Amino acid sequence: MSAPPATHGLLAAADPSLATHLATHGPLSGQVDLVALAERAGLVGRGGAGFPTARKLRAVADAARATRTTPVVVANGSEGEPAAFKDAVLLSRAPHLVAEGLHLAAAAVGADSVVLAVGPGQAAEVGRQLAGRPDRSPIRVVPVAGHFLAGEETALVGAVDGGLPLPRGKVPPVWQRGVQGRPTLVHNVETLARLALLARGDRSAAGRTLVTRHTATVDVVEVPLGARLGDVLPVPAGVQAVLVGGYHGSWLPAAVAADVRLDRDGLASVGASLGAGVLAALSADRCGVRETARVVGYLAASSAGQCGPCLNGLPRIAAALGLLARPGGAPAARARLLQDVARWSGLVVGRGACAHPDGTVRLVASALRVFGGELAAHAAGWCTGAPPTPAFLPVPTVGAAA
């Protein structure tokens, strides 16, 4: 087995067929110690939390041994984040890397069934591409509802088991009791595809990441971790702020964003994280408060309303932000709204069964920090991005909430 050049990234294949995949990346052969490979490479998950992959593989294998139960592996390609397209692009360009990662992970933890969860629009095509694979156990492709919470791992396990995609709380964790009550390894599809490259000897695979870039257009590219953000996403003078991570992420002022290193430590130093890999450049002729209010309205409407923070907190925060996004109003009333948002935000953190409230108020707090000038303009009766300026960030209509 010869290692492919480091330039053979996740999106290198010209089409999703098995023949092109093998011609691009070469065959996967021989035994590998996947846990050791992931550990040595420092691979962390690409599903949002950046959890070390080797640690998760070990936890599932240990739980299976301790309970004498055969585990399940689920590839998370549901991508509920409306601004992220990296997983959809990966599945449409390189489904066989994901499939190989799934089987490698299954072998590493001793699993006998493998599931690939994808958005409802992708299931048929992905299933067709994978149909001819010479695997011993077939991959079960499961379409999951395309809404924000569906990709949260406990919600995903519920959907794979044929139930509603509802987060159910972290205890017991899915690596102990997941699909059919069995220890379950849930990895993002990009994480699994990176395992397939690592298994081929491409050691640089853990040091790159897929990002969805929003500028005047939207695209998905693979970039080196540690790159200067301004070299990955053009941040010209006409950009005022960058949304980093996605709708559970953070706004950064353009000047800060341009020079930050795109990795865990670099982003943490400015209070951000890579999250779902979204980078969105907000131009100076748009209103960041209005954009955030639209997103937070969507996030509040997307919650299951199962826990106090989502039932009581997020709708109030969304409503207050909606009022602050409009120019005008009495200064005292606006000041009270700002205090309310800060107080309610403090009350929801750490109180939900999943991280949805925490992620939502992280975005809100960053908007209030970064768009102070815009809030002052609204208090003075003026808005930078008032209609007819079109909306920037994609916000779907919420149908059936979780």
Ligand X SMILES: Cc1cc2nc3c(=O)[nH]c(=O)nc-3n(C[C@H](O)[C@H](O)[C@H](O)COP(=O)(O)O)c2cc1C
Q: What are phi and psi of 129, to 5 degrees?
A: -65, -35
The residue sitting closest to ligand SF4, measured at its beta carbon, is: 352
Contacts of 308 (CB under 8 A, 6+ apart): 348, 351, 352
Q: Which stretch binds ligand SF4 (CB under 6 A): 170-178, 248-256, 339-347, 348-356?
A: 348-356
Q: What are phi and psi of 214, to 5 degrees?
A: -115, 115
Beta carbon of residue 194, minimum distance to ligand X (angstroms, whole number): 9
Judged by CB under 6 A, does residue 354 bind ligand SF4?
yes
The residue assigned the tokens 């923070």 is 309
Which CB atom, from 46 or from 182, has the smaller least distance to ligand X? Answer: 46
Amino acid at 386: A
Tokens for 160, please give them.
């794979």
Which CB atom, from 126 or from 258, has the smaller least distance to ligand X? Answer: 126
E strands present in 313-401: none
Q: Give the total of residues touching ligand SF4 (CB under 6 A).
A: 15
27 HSE (CA, 13 A, CB side): 6
Judged by CB under 6 A, does residue 333 bind ligand X?
no
Judged by CB under 6 A, does residue 76 bind ligand X?
yes
Beta carbon of residue 134, minimum distance to ligand X (angstroms, whole number): 25
Judged by CB under 6 A, does residue 305 bind ligand SF4?
yes
Q: Which does 38 bind (CB under 5 to 8 A by kind): ligand X, ligand SF4, none?
A: none
Contacts of 332 (CB under 8 A, 6+ apart): none
Beta carbon of residue 328, minimum distance to ligand X (angstroms, whole number): 34
Q: Omega before 172 cis (within 30°)?
A: yes
Judged by CB under 6 A, does residue 183 bind ligand X?
no
Nearest residue to 281 via CA among 305, 251, 248, 259: 251
What residues from 44 to 63 belong to the interface with ligand X (CB under 6 A)? 45-49, 51, 56
Contacts of 243 (CB under 8 A, 6+ apart): 83, 214, 249, 250, 251, 278, 279, 280, 282, 393
Judged by CB under 6 A, does residue 355 bind ligand X?
yes
Judged by CB under 6 A, does residue 151 bind ligand X?
yes
Judged by CB under 6 A, does residue 230 bind ligand SF4?
no
Q: Which does 306 bind (CB under 5 to 8 A by kind): ligand SF4, ligand X, none?
A: ligand SF4
Report the residue count for the chain: 402
Q: Site residues (CB under 6 A) for ligand X?
A: 45-49, 51, 56, 76, 78-81, 149, 151-153, 186-188, 191, 354-356
